Amino acid sequence: MSHQSQSPLSAGRSRALSGRVRVPGDKSISHRALMFGALATGRTRICGLLEGVDVLDTAKALQALGCPVTKVLGRGVGGLAEPAGDIDYGNSGTGLRLMMGLVAGHDMRVRFVGDPSLSRRPMGRILKPLMQMGLDVSERGRETLPLTIRGSADLLPIEYRTPVASAQIKSAVLLAGLHASGETTVIEAQATRDHTERMLRHFGAELAVSERNGGRTITIAGDAELAARDVVVPGDPSSTAFLVSAALIVPGSEIVIEGVLVNPTRTGFYVTLKEMGADIAFRNEREEGGEPVADVRVVHSRLKGVRVPPERAPSMIDEYPVLACVAAFAEGETRMEGLSELKVKESDRLAATAAGLAANGVPAKVEGDALIVDGCRASGSVRGGGTVATHLDHRIAMAFLTLGLGADRPVTVDDADTIATSFPEFRGLMERLGATFAAPEVVR
């Protein structure tokens, strides 16, 4: 995605938000639905696919690898073809890392490139286990894009203990494990989002999962054959988080977001908000496509600061920037711990979030891997009025536009175009609920 010119946007204090909306499909599940559909034999139909730039980059990559994506006509495990040129993953770290695992089981050469933000992000943690299985990397010792890899049709099965809590590492290894001759096992000290395991089973993979002491061991059988399946993609909880946060900080608000994924590995944000005193309820809980789904009702609430323990980070890693913005409106200090992964996202989200808060009059500091936000105490007022550097990061942009909806003065982000990476409908859905956005020189 090109960012040669920036499009600043401001959010001003909003009237009460109200209404019922549905957010686009979950980004993590959308990536996986496309990839697993490509490895399955037959035609996979996907309902609710997120059509953000990141997911569309995965669709383009699969087309370059010889898989039609009008309705994902799968090529079978090991059936993809060498692309004619580079595969450009834009800003999508999730798509890229999973695709490396998928490509690893094919005897072909693929060169991956990305935008400046993605080209700074570390890939070594993904490449290490894949190289143990037989992947070859042309740029020896290099861990950032551009990277040229060559897969193998004869991957070795491995047992791999993940060094950090990362669903991306786990998923890449399991995808490669489909092609290995034997059983591949991934051991997690902390359980991470389990969409890969659920969807692999949905497509017919042989998978065994055991849980112990908060961790998880996953074993997948190699030489796999996947069968095409229909997939329903539930609403993205990370996108939902911005609407939920806006309703909590704008007085008089009450909204319902329909059909949201409430997988237990993704609900740490809601657990934390309830500890802060938020009036949030899951209604009409059900299962769709193997995933738990609910309608989320949110009412404006008076909040208090809390400590968010490090072990909760894997279940809400993408929501910390907007949680920090919500914490600005809470009474007292909120301390979020164990956030080392935020430093290697689309930007250094830890530093970017602290800087954005400071620019808008909110005392915040980083201590190691912790972010401490000193809320508004009893005043209930956040000054706002600042301009936030997004660093090409969609979640930083949306988090601070959300802050602006409750602040005394408008909050400006330097580039709103990056929002299309994951949530192109963000502004439209917010405005349907009653939010106010405009070009910086117009909002007062």
pLDDT tens for 254-296 read 999 999 999 999 999 999 999 999 999 999 999 887 799 999 9
Q: Is residue 284 part of a domain?
A: yes
CA distances from 391 to 57, 109, 201, 416 (A): 20, 32, 38, 11
Residue range 328-345: mean pLDDT, rounded:
93
Question: What letter represents residue 142's amino acid?
Answer: R
Place of tokens 């000054």: 383
Output Rg (C-alpha) for the chain, integer angstroms. 21
19: pLDDT confidence band, cut at 50, 70 and 90?
A: very high
Domain boundary among 174, 207, 232: 232
Stretch among 71-80, 148-157, 343-352 having the lowest mean pLDDT: 71-80
Q: What percentage of the chain exceeds 70 in pLDDT?
A: 96
Does residue 100 lie within any of the structural domains?
yes
> How far is the C-alpha of 196 from the C-alpha of 91, rounded, in Å?
21
Quick one: 158 and 49 in the same domain? yes
In a domain, 1, yes or no: no
Same domain, 42 and 169: yes
The mean pLDDT of 314-332, rounded to a whole number, is 96
Mean pLDDT of all residues in 237-244: 97
* Structural domain span for residue 122: 27-232
**For residue 444, is it within any domain?**
no
The alpha carbon torsion through 115, 120, 126, 130 (nearest 10 deg) reads 70
Residue 80 shares a structural domain with residue 150:
yes
Same domain, 200 and 67: yes
Q: How many whole angstroms separate alpha carbon 398 and alpha carbon 243?
A: 10
Asked whether residue 189 falls in the same domain as residue 270, the answer is: no
Mean pLDDT confidence for 84-90: 96
Q: What is the pLDDT of residue 378?
A: 60
For position 74, which CATH number holds? 3.65.10.10
> Angle, to 10 degrees, between the axis of helix 53-64 and the axis of helix 93-103?
20
According to the model, what pLDDT value does residue 346 have?
74
The answer to whether 230 is a known catalytic residue is no
What pLDDT, on a 0 to 100 scale, did the predictor assign at position 289?
A: 72
Same domain, 203 and 300: no
For 188, counting Cβ atoms within 10 Å of its Cβ (0-12 exposed, 13-18 middle, 19+ buried), the class is buried
- Catalytic site residue from 295, 318, 415, 417: 318
Query: 422 and 289, same structural domain?
Result: yes
Assigned domain for 3 exists: no
The answer as to whether 362 is a domain residue is yes
Confidence class for position 3, pLDDT limits 50, 70, 90: very low
Q: Are residue 39 and residue 121 in the same domain, yes or no?
A: yes
Mean local confidence (pLDDT), 345-364: 93
pLDDT at position 2 over 90: no
Please report the pLDDT score of residue 237 as a whole number. 96
Which position has the higher pLDDT, 78 or 220? Answer: 220
pLDDT band at 40 (very low <50, low <70, confident <90, very high): very high
The DSSP H or E segment spanning 19 is strand 18-22
Note whether 343 and 380 are same-domain residues: yes
Asked if the peptide bond before residue 146 counts as cis, ω within 30 degrees of 0, the response is yes
Nearest-10 Cα torsion for 426, 431, 433, 435: 100
Q: How confident is the model at residue 74 (pLDDT cuts 50, 70, 90)?
A: confident
| pLDDT grade for 442, boundaries at 50, 70 and 90 | low
Domain termination residue (choose one: 232, 250, 267): 232
Q: Based on the fold, state whether residues 253 and 176 are members of the same structural domain.
A: no
Please check whether residue 443 lies inside any domain of the structure: no
Going from the C-alpha of 242 to that of each of 160, 169, 206, 349, 420, the distances in angstroms are 35, 27, 37, 16, 14
253 and 107 assigned to the same domain: no
Please tell me the predicted confidence (pLDDT) of residue 441: 65
Burial 406-433 (b: 16+ CB within 10 A, else e): bbebbbbbbbbbbbbbbbebbbebbeeb
Residue range 424-440, pLDDT digits in tens: 999 999 999 999 999 88
Mean pLDDT of 406-426: 95
Residue that finishes a domain, picked among 212, 232, 252: 232
Shared-domain flag, residues 143 and 43: yes
User: The tokens of 161 are what?
Assistant: 């203990």
What's the chain's average pLDDT? 93
Quick: pLDDT tens for 355-393.
999 999 999 999 999 999 999 866 668 999 999 999 989
Q: What is the domain count for the chain?
A: 2
Range with the poorest average pLDDT among 117-121, 159-163, 196-200, 210-214: 210-214
* Angstrom distances, CA of residue 131 to CA of 106, 135, 209: 13, 4, 24
pLDDT tens by residue, 388-409: 999 989 999 999 999 999 999 9
Helix (H) or strand (E) holding 212: strand 207-212
At residue 141, the pLDDT reads: 87
Tokens found for residue 275? 């500890």
Q: What amino acid occupies position 253? A: S
Q: Would you say residue 212 has pLDDT above 90? A: no
Q: For residue 112, is it within any domain? A: yes
Pairing of strands 183-188, 215-221: antiparallel
